[in-house]
Structure 1
Amino acid sequence: MRRCRWRWQGQWRLRARARQWPPARQWASARHWERPSAKRVLDLTLGSILLALAAPLLAAGTLALAARRPRGGVLTRSPRIGLNGHLFVLCSLRTRRLRLDLLSRLPHVVRGDLSLVGPEPLAPGDDRAAGAVGPSTADTPASATDPAARHWRQELKPGLTGLAQVRSRSGMPWDEPALLDQHYAEHHWVGLDLAILARAVHAPLHRAVHGLTRCGKAHLSDTDHRRCGYSAAE
């Protein structure tokens, strides 16, 4: 009887250990999990909302372009430099009406290739991207691991819009796109992202409202205010 009881207790302990949750491997993987940053939470939340709202407009634009059968297809595909110098293919609609080309890039924001706010996504052959693709094979191991040799464009994702896009039209010397992008890379935070997004939305809305008001104005001449029966001979 004692042997049976010991055997039953041993089996019960083995089953209890097998039912332990989470197992040691899951605990080890949980230690390596990193909490998403506030910027990534903003991109994922607001990007998903904007994509859901813009989906009908993007579908209509896609169908309109497909009916015209443009050369090269409905989408444009071009390589761009992302976070840590990784390359990705940027897809956008082949039109700029109603800023559909920018709205069509929202899936890249949700996927994590782009951010809502950041520097302009550059092509690998762009001179401004020098040093942003990572160290070349000719670099020494010391220079490749030196933090000072790391280009500032590697530190953050390119954006759907950015400080350069909303400020570069002023024409001031300190509003050069490269300087604005670098300034954003050094001082970016969620509050600045929200301010840039508000400015990016306000500008096209202001132009649209201003255009409607101008179209609604009546172009009256001096003769329109004269009394009935007035003659120039008088």
Structure 2
Amino acid sequence: MGQPMRESGLALLDVSARPTSQPLSERSRGVRILQLAIAGGDLLVISLATVLAAVGRTHLGLFSATADVNDVAQSVGVWIVAGWMLANVALGTYARGYLGVGTIEYARILSAAGCTAGLIGIMSYLTKFNLSRGFFVLMFVIGIPLLLLWRRIARRLVHRAHARGLLLTRVLISGSPGHVDDVAAVLERESWLGYRIIGALLPEGAARGTTDRGVPVAGQTDETADAVIRNEADLVVFTEGAFPSAADFRRIAWELEGHHVQMAVVPSLSDISSGRIMMRPVGGLPLVHVEQPRSLGASRGLKRTFDLVGATALLLIASPLMLAAAIAVKLQDGGPILFRQTRVGRDGALFECLKFRSMVVDAEAQLSAITHLNANADGVLFKIQRDPRITRVGHVLRRYSIDELPQLINVINGEMSLVGPRPALPAEVRRYVPDVQRRLHVRPGMTGLWQVSGRSDLSWDDTVRLDLYYVDNWSLVQDLSIVAKTVHAVIRSRGAY
């Protein structure tokens, strides 16, 4: 079996059939063009970095000159560009399963750059080639960020293509009706992945027109290969109930061999990051090893250091904006600048969460009069899209999350974290079911997966799912990624009210 195919809260293990000379589908042709376009962009970026490194070395004088940099660049520049591109190919940076999703694409780009740098250093040493150190350093200092930026832009273009119905993967889901609906819910929720569910394959005896979620039934599990070919599917996802035994799955794979169809198996694991999953074949038996949850790591020294350093730096940078916000709030109606509200922190500890006041002074007293406007009447949270208690200044503060900047003080005090679950009210916590209590195992955050995934537009169930995913799969890299995405989410103001 291959590595996890997608990072979407659902573990899909890629077990694609070996392609042969069968005609390419429209989707496969589109993916080939996409791979070539991304490779062409990489070639331009690496070439540009090489030229800029030569120019920068000549004008910046970072190291003492030992050779004519222009001559060196001309003599080895083409070979360096070719070697870097070969490293990208060898390490799978153009693999179709990782283009546009997850962090593996970026990790492989960094690995390819590191291998290229190492090989250049080794070859220069062995051949005693007098390569300019300034040229060498600048090439990678410029090239790596430009490559990552280009891949980020390419990823956005792919997602836009998916939103317009282009480059979509036609998916058949095979298994029992309940499990088919569970997988369909995940794939539909993560629409940016570009999956289009065209039907379900159910076991004999479960025949029906559609599943409870409305997925049309395209056939039975014992005719998987015929159904896949008949419906021109690009991907068939096998979930529980798709085949009685491993031998049956092997026969399905044999029947699909020679067709450009990907196969994926859902190993009954969900909301587990790829970093916690490792495949270890033992005697032909593919064992999926799953690491323990990482909630303890989200409460230890490394994260606390990240919070202290980050919050202190942000507080210094944002101080002029905070001063302007404080003045605006005061001038609005003469009331208090800060709004202090009791929230539940790590392990149930209570603390005063600080915000710039964005509502009228007696907002709490007016709450009972507007409960009928709650947009989340069936959930734990209280949300109103057009809350009449919000002031004119408050609308601006909330739109760009400026009202939450005082929480940097909560972070420095150790009551909150820069990244974590949404800070909950005591009344909300009293309504938690046991599983949801796990949100309290880490400090609440100023931002989190809930912030970068829709903010107030999220349902209560989605908010809980994202918070529990964060608690169980914490990593510092994920924290950095969420902070970067928060900036984009705040600028777009999506779900802010």
Classify the TM-score, shorter chain.
0.5 to 0.7
Tell me which residue corresponds to 1:112.
Answer: 414
Asked which structure has the greater RCO (Cα within 8 Å, sep 6+), the reply is 1
Tell me which residue corresponds to 2:341.
Answer: 78
Q: Within 5 A, what are the aligned runs for 1:115-194?
A: 115-126=417-428, 130=432, 151-168=437-454, 176-194=462-480
CA distance in 1, matches of 2:459, 2:342: 30
Q: Is the 8 A contact 2:449 2:482 kept in 1?
A: yes
CA distance in 2, matches of 1:38, 1:204: 26
- Secondary structure of the equivalent of 1:90? strand
Q: Within 5 A, what are the aligned runs for 1:50-89?
A: 50-71=314-335, 73-89=336-352
Tell me which residue corresponds to 1:41.
Answer: 305
CA distance in 2, matches of 1:164, 1:128: 21
TM-score (norm. length: structure 1): 0.59
Q: Is the 8 A contact 1:74 1:93 kept in 2?
A: yes
- The CA deviation string for residues 80-128 of structure 1, in whole angstroms up to 9 with x for no partner, is 0001110001111013524221212111111111100000000000157
- Secondary structure of the equivalent of 1:120? coil
Q: Is the 8 A contact 2:449 2:470 kept in 1?
A: yes
Q: Is the 8 A contact 1:79 1:124 kept in 2?
A: yes
- Secondary structure of the equivalent of 1:126? helix
Q: Is the 8 A contact 1:167 1:175 kept in 2?
A: no
Report how many residues are paired: 156
- Secondary structure of the equivalent of 2:443? coil
Tell me which residue corresponds to 1:103.
Answer: 405
Q: Is the 8 A contact 2:436 2:464 kept in 1?
A: no
CA distance in 2, matches of 1:76, 1:182: 28
- Secondary structure of the equivalent of 1:116? strand
TM superposition outliers: structure 1 runs of 4+ over 4 Å: 169-175
The root-mean-square deviation of aligned C-alpha atoms, in Å, is 3.0
> Unpaired runs of 5+ in structure 2?
1-298, 358-393
CA distance in 2, matches of 1:170, 1:161: 12
- Secondary structure of the equivalent of 1:157? coil
Structure with the higher helix share, 1 or 2: 1
Tell me how far 1:57 sits from its aligned partner.
0.9
Q: Is the 8 A contact 1:80 1:124 kept in 2?
A: yes
Tell me how far 1:62 sits from its aligned partner.
0.7
Q: Within 5 A, what are the aligned runs for 1:197-216?
A: 197-205=483-491, 207=492
> Unpaired runs of 5+ in structure 1?
1-34, 133-148, 209-234
Tell me how far 1:165 sits from its aligned partner.
1.5
Q: 1:173 to 1:123 in 2, by over 3 A?
A: closer
Structure showing greater radius of gyration is 1
Q: Is the 8 A contact 1:109 1:116 kept in 2?
A: yes
- Secondary structure of the equivalent of 2:402? helix
TM-score (norm. length: structure 2): 0.29
Q: Is the 8 A contact 1:123 1:129 kept in 2?
A: no
CA distance in 1, matches of 2:460, 2:323: 40
